[in-house]
């Protein structure tokens, strides 16, 4: 499904939030892929604790699609769009190895915006 289809089924709070944060650009081009083979979903969701992963404008889900996680992944879509696909991947991997997952600047931004959507304090 594309994000435009997802937005049509989502809450007004979600839709207003993603547009207010400028997370959505051409929603019909952002793809949400949640029909991955079971062995791939199992590997990521149970062995790695990963719920979703984003590459460019493609959001791959390994578990249930929720508005909160879509917000997080849309931050990554925006980051890809702003700095470019390869530059994003390079910096992401570099920061992962230098600092660890939770201290990657891209993740910090995504978690802060996700927590704001959820009405939680930023961590």
The answer on pLDDT for 83 being more than 60 is yes
| Per-residue model confidence (pLDDT) at position 49 | 66
Average pLDDT estimate for 5-23: 91
Question: 35-79, pLDDT tens digit by residue?
Answer: 777 767 676 665 566 788 899 999 988 777 899 999 999 999 999
| Per-residue model confidence (pLDDT) at position 48 | 63
Of 34, 40, 38, the residue nearest 70 (C-alpha): 34
Beta strand 58-61 pairing with 52-55: antiparallel
Sorted by where each begins, the domain ranges of the chain are 3-118
- Reduce the DSSP state of residue 30 to 3 states and report it: coil
């Amino acid at each position: 499904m594309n994000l435009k289809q997802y937005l049509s089924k989502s809450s007004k709070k979600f839709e207003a939030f993603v547009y207010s944060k400028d997370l959505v650009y051409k929603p019909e081009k952002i793809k949400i892929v949640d029909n991955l083979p079971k062995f791939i979903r199992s590997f990521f969701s149970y062995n790695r604790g990963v719920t979703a992963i984003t590459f460019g404008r493609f959001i791959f889900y390994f578990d249930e699609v929720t508005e909160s996680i879509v917000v997080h992944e849309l931050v990554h879509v925006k980051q890809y769009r702003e700095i470019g696909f390869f530059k994003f991947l390079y910096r992401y991997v570099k920061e992962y190895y230098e600092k660890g997952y939770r201290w990657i600047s891209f993740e910090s931004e995504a978690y802060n915006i996700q927590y704001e959507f959820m009405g939680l304090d930023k961590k």
